[in-house]
Chains A and B, each alone.
Chain A
Amino acid sequence: MARVRQVSEHGAEGGVERVYHELRRTMRVTGVDVSLRTWAAYPRFFVAMWEALGPNVETRAFEESALGLWQEVLDSTVQWEALGAWGTTRLGPSQRFHARGALELFETMQPRVMLMVSAVRMALEGQPVGQQGALGTSERLERGVPSRMAAMDWVAEKPGDAVLRTLFADIVKTVGPPGVPGEYRALGCWPSYLETAWRRLKPRMKDEDFQRASERLLESARRRARALPYPVALSRERVSALGENAEAVLKVTQALERRSPALLLNLSRLVQDVPDMLRQPMPGASRLVPDWVAAEELR
């Protein structure tokens, strides 16, 4: 697959910059993940994707679906042997604080992203996504980032550190394109921890039960996407009509979906390796806005 140039938050302009802002506020996260940055390389598609999917993303139904998916991931890995990377890596208190914050951020974000990726992939393949609810009929959640969520800090995709570069290359080779997943770039801030963790995560990915769990999660994400409250009006024809390369977008989306379950399973193992870490760290709150404001926003 041809390399796709991600759009950084800092470098985003026009419609992409607007959607990034709305994504962060709606998903209640401090940054925009790699999958979404990759989509943003096709800006007209990206804006259309958000228009089609955004109303779903801000509903409680979407949030609960993402939390349910994450719970399935946690349940899949809870019986597996402990990773042991957290306890064996030498990190100072501040480093642990930051690494824990990064894990909390990604465990909050990635199940939501996987749900979005599955929804978009199915829509682009012409499958029905979402139910036929009328806009505004499903409960929405309060926008905005939780005050204790960590900043989405990460190292460059091609870091200066040669060891890290090799590690990233191995990660992409193992999990698949397009690019180093966000959680690994974030954990790249502590190379020795990432190295230890990856050395223990990688062999497990070949196991049969890992593969089976991946397939189950993929199916679950698709089922959940079909059950979203509002229809997702997105198709290859529409993407082509917007002047984007619909086949390229579909390929990227398929690649993103293909690796999502494995990434979630690994993330779950990383999270369960940290003592006393909350499994659902930052649940959303109900949105308390007057009906006329909501109606105006949905106009």
Chain B
Amino acid sequence: MNWREWQGRQEVMELGSRFVSYVDWGSGPPVVLLHGIPNWSYLWSGIAPGLAESYRVLAPDLLGYGFSDRRDRFDRSISRQAEALEAWMDRLGVVDATVVGHDVGGGVAQQLAVRFPQRVGRLCLMDSVCYDAWPKGLMAQLGTPAMARRLTPERLTRFLTQALKRKGFATPQTAEMLEGLLAPYATEVGMVSLSRDAVALNTNQTLELASKLGHLAVPVLVLWGEKDGILPAKYGERLAWDIPGARWMKVPNAGHFVMWDAPHAVAMELFRFLEGAAPVSHSTTRSVAEELWGSEAPVPA
């Protein structure tokens, strides 16, 4: 699927004075797919069609990214993204979902799981930002207004394409796919918006979660490209160790964009995760706990 076809599938929802573009595909238990930087929901176009045969795939462009609102009028930090996501899920009538987050989307997913636990039935973190693993040099530089002023959309696109090729993938990718991943940022508005996204990358917002990850009471899958050259697998191992019961999966011969390097393996692992047991929602957790402990049951964090 090329990026224009994916864009053609996008719906739009106004949230106050901002708006979110998103793909809503298939029916069944909802699965929310969150992209990172410098991408948009097109990141998931390889595995979404397969997932949509059994699940309701919801893939938003985070605020300030892709074809969601990109104006200079809001904070794009992962904590604000989580708040917007919660409001978006509420408007969609999605009580809770399996949330899959890649890169910065993984940071948003962590924020969502900790701050709005009722919304997250299962959590999958894929090559996710965490702890002090981010922001990486390239994105940190892009966030400085002075650096952004020296760029043009054409130069930025060339620069990012080279960087993605060099560090993002373990296998060769088509020019069409790379163009698609960066398409929303190939204009002046896109370039400036990406710079604003970059300046919102904030280590503190994952570090503040570190002590809370141990309280997550949902099934968690931590999935990582073995050859991730952007966020090394050691961070994934640390996440899996910190989250009780998390399943740790290292995908061989795959880099940061694990879903493009190894789409089959990732899809299989996701299906296994999604189908492994009956979906666990907090209401379910509480009722099971109540059976065990009566009304004194602890409320999940």
Contact = CB atoms under 8 A, between A and B. Distances in A.
A26 interface: no
Nearest to B189: A153
A98 B17 contact: no
A10 B17 contact: no
A91 B12 CA distance: 13
A151 interface: yes
Contacts of A94: 7, 10-12, 21-22, 67
A15 B152 CA distance: 20
Interface string A112-142: 0000000000000000000000000000000
Of B7, B19, B188, B190, chain A has the most CB atoms within 10 Å of the CB of B188
Interface string B170-198: 00000000000000000111111100000
Contacts of A31: 189
How many residues of A sit at the interface, in one of the four size bands?
20 to 34
A93 B10 contact: yes
Interface in A168-194: 189
A97 interface: yes
A242 interface: no
Nearest to B187: A153
B165 interface: no
Contact of B187 (A93, A148, A155): A155
Contacts of B12: 93-94, 97
A98 B153 CA distance: 20
B67 A30 contact: no
Nearest to A98: B67
B70 A95 contact: no
23 contacts: A8-B152, A10-B148, A10-B152, A91-B8, A92-B10, A93-B10, A93-B11, A93-B12, A94-B21, A98-B67, A147-B17, A148-B17, A151-B70, A151-B189, A153-B70, A153-B187, A153-B189, A153-B190, A154-B187, A154-B188, A154-B189, A155-B187, A156-B153
A282 interface: no
A237 interface: no
A219 interface: no
A91 B191 CA distance: 24
Interface string B96-134: 000000000000000000000000000000000000000
Given A94-B67, A155-B187, A10 B192 contact: yes
Contact of B188 (A10, A93, A97, A98): A10
B136 interface: no
Contacts of A152: 189
Given A10-B188, A91-B8, 18 more contacts: A10-B148, A10-B149, A10-B191, A10-B192, A90-B8, A92-B7, A92-B8, A92-B9, A92-B10, A92-B11, A94-B10, A95-B10, A97-B21, A147-B17, A148-B17, A153-B187, A153-B189, A155-B187
Interface in A154-171: 154-156
A209 interface: no
A9 interface: yes
Contacts of A155: 187
Nearest to A153: B189
Interface string B1-43: 0000001111110000101011000000000000000000000
Given A156-B153, A156-B154, A95 B7 contact: yes
Interface residues of B, number: 26
Nearest to A148: B17
Contacts of A30: 71
B188 A9 contact: yes
A190 to B, nearest CB: 9
Top 8 closest A-B pairs, CB basis?
A: A94-B10, A153-B189, A92-B8, A94-B21, A94-B12, A97-B12, A147-B17, A151-B189
B19 A97 contact: yes
Q: Interface centre among A91, A154, A156, by most B CB within 10 Å?
A: A156
Interface string B136-157: 0000000000001100111000
Nearest to B153: A156
A233 to B, nearest CB: 33
Contacts of A151: 70-71, 189, 193
Contacts of B148: 10
Contacts of A93: 10-12
Contacts of B154: 156
B157 to A, nearest CB: 9
Of residues A9, A10, A147, A156, which shows the largest number of chain B Cβ atoms within 10 Å of its Cβ? A10
A90 B7 CA distance: 12
A120 B70 CA distance: 33
Interface string B53-76: 000000000000001001101000
Contacts of A95: 7-8, 10
- Indicate the member of B8, B152, B154, B191 with the most A CB atoms within 10 Å: B8
B192 to A, nearest CB: 7
Contacts of B11: 92-94
A24 B191 CA distance: 19
A274 to B, nearest CB: 15
A94 to B, nearest CB: 4
